[in-house]
Amino acid sequence: MAQIREIKKRLTAVKNIQRITKTMQMIATARFTAALQSAKATQPYTERIRTLVNEVAAAAGDIEHPLINDPETSPNRELLIVITSDRGLCGAYNGTVLRTALHQYRNATAAGREVELHTIGKKAAGFFKFQRIKAAETHLFGDRPDYDTVNRFASQYIDAFTEGRYDAVRVVYMQFESTSRQRPEVLQLLPLRRLDEESDAAETKPTATGATYEFSPSAEGLLAALLPQTVKTMFFQAMNDAAVSEQIMRMVAMKAATENAKDLGRSLVQQFNRARQTQITTELMEVISGAAALE
């Protein structure tokens, strides 16, 4: 009898967990849909502004700008921004990002560079506190980062870099490629070295249209306005990718948990039926044995 009561308690607990994980899966699905729409809406703009900057830089030839050049005097210091979630129950999302960030941090310190750490999300703050690595700043953006907030922080990073406080600004986040593939990425936000490489390639290759551009204002003036905007859009895209990746990985994790709860529930039902059948058989044997003893 005690065994049956124990199985019934476990079965009730498993059913409650199943309802919770199913609800969390539905919430994550709704948030994933909203985050995916936001990420897809910003991605074409991010790609197009990068292309535009490359074309302007190629036409301008040799250019000098604080956002694409190293500081005149190296401070031997870099800024590392780590983006994670505020909550758990999202599979390997936080663990993968944090391992990548810790590897990047240790490589930089091993090379003799000082690393200033900024964390976005409670999980990153808790992880580095456990690792006894002090974060200079900790921020929370929630499930849906808004551009105004991201723009404010990106402007602070741009100002700090142009003042010569850092050699580089890097962002560690989970890049969203598709619903079935997300991978950790270390994005070099500043300086925009990739622009130089793409500009050199553009100089050696003709454009698809073969067009010749005349700039008004000058190419240098356009770059002065476009380069900060490029940094901000790249950072905003990274935040959107991180939000999408978090929700899809939570959705998958909660779906797996719900399926596991169903399987465990079926197993407990079978155990309950066998225990109940054993109890009934034992009671019948006792009745039969008692009746036989009275004859």
Most confident of 113-122, 223-232, 273-282: 113-122
* CB atoms near residue 104 (< 10 Å): 18
pLDDT, mean of residues 55-74: 76
Q: What is the pLDDT of residues 94-142, one digit of tens each?
A: 999 999 999 999 999 999 999 999 999 999 999 999 999 999 999 988 7
Backbone angles phi, psi at 115, to 5 degrees: -120, 120
At residue 16, the pLDDT reads 94
Asked whether the predicted pLDDT for residue 251 surpasses 90, the reply is yes
3-state secondary structure of 81: strand
According to CATH, the superfamily of the domain at 27-251 is ATP synthase, F1 complex, gamma subunit (3.40.1380.10)
Model confidence, pTM: 0.82
Asked whether the predicted pLDDT for residue 211 surpasses 70, the reply is no
pLDDT, mean of residues 250-259: 93
Q: Which residue has the tokens 């292309």?
A: 51
Are 46 and 150 spatial neighbours (Cβ–Cβ below 8 Å)? no
pLDDT, mean of residues 172-176: 94
* CB atoms near residue 247 (< 10 Å): 26
Q: Give the whole-angstrom CA distance, residue 172 versus residue 98.
A: 8
Contacts of 55 (CB under 8 A, 6+ apart): 202, 207, 213
Asked whether the predicted pLDDT for residue 241 surpasses 90, the reply is yes
Are 176 and 244 spatial neighbours (Cβ–Cβ below 8 Å)? yes
Contacts of 288 (CB under 8 A, 6+ apart): none
At residue 61, the pLDDT reads 65
Asked whether the predicted pLDDT for residue 285 surpasses 90, the reply is no
At residue 169, the pLDDT reads 95
Q: Give the whole-angstrom CA distance, residue 166 versus residue 83.
A: 19
Most confident of 1-5, 77-81, 194-198, 201-205: 77-81
Tokens representing 169 are 């600004």
Asked whether the predicted pLDDT for residue 201 surpasses 50, the reply is no
Q: What is the pLDDT of residues 66-93, one digit of tens each?
A: 888 788 888 999 999 999 999 988 989 9
Q: Which one has a higher pLDDT value, 95 or 215?
A: 95
Q: Give the whole-angstrom CA distance, residue 169 versus residue 8.
A: 56
Strands 168-178 and 181-190: antiparallel
At residue 45, the pLDDT reads 84
At residue 41, the pLDDT reads 85
* Helix locations, the chain, DSSP H: 2-60, 93-110, 122-130, 147-162, 193-204, 219-294
Peptide bond into 217 cis (omega under 30): yes
Q: Which one has a higher pLDDT value, 277 or 60?
A: 277
Asked whether the predicted pLDDT for residue 208 surpasses 60, the reply is no
Q: Band the pLDDT of 209: cuts 50, 70, 90.
A: very low
* Edge-to-edge strand list for the sheet holding 114-120: 137-139, 114-120, 77-83, 168-178, 181-190
Asked whether the predicted pLDDT for residue 231 surpasses 60, the reply is yes
Q: Band the pLDDT of 178: cuts 50, 70, 90.
A: confident
The fraction of the chain above a pLDDT of 70, given in percent, is 88
